[in-house]
Amino acid sequence: MSKRSQGLLVGKTRHLARHHKPSTLNTNDIIKQFSIGDKVCIVPKGGMHNIPHPRYKGRTGTVVEKRGSAYVVKVRIMGAERTLIVPSLHLDKA
């Protein structure tokens, strides 16, 4: 008998499902632009490729810098500041 996988998102896909709204992506979602200091909300969209960790779903943070086509976002969680690198696809204006 083989051992079950213990990957990052094992058993969590039902929490990521968006049953209330279809997950259609358009060009505007992909080419969004933000400036430094903007407040953004982390909303995972699309498939499982390069999404932020589910614990940050719905969190609001501040854009610190642009790194390639992604943005560095500073998020406060449990009294500590975290720095995340998130593609613009998964960010919305807060």
Q: Where are the domains of the chain?
A: 13-93
Residue 39 has a pLDDT of 97
For 13-93, CATH gives 2.30.30.70
How far apart are alpha carbons 22 and 52 in whole angstroms? 19
Q: Show pLDDT as tens, one digit a residue, over the chain (94 residues).
A: 788 887 777 776 666 665 555 556 778 877 889 999 999 999 888 766 788 888 898 999 999 999 998 999 999 988 999 999 999 989 999 8
First to last CA, the chain: 48
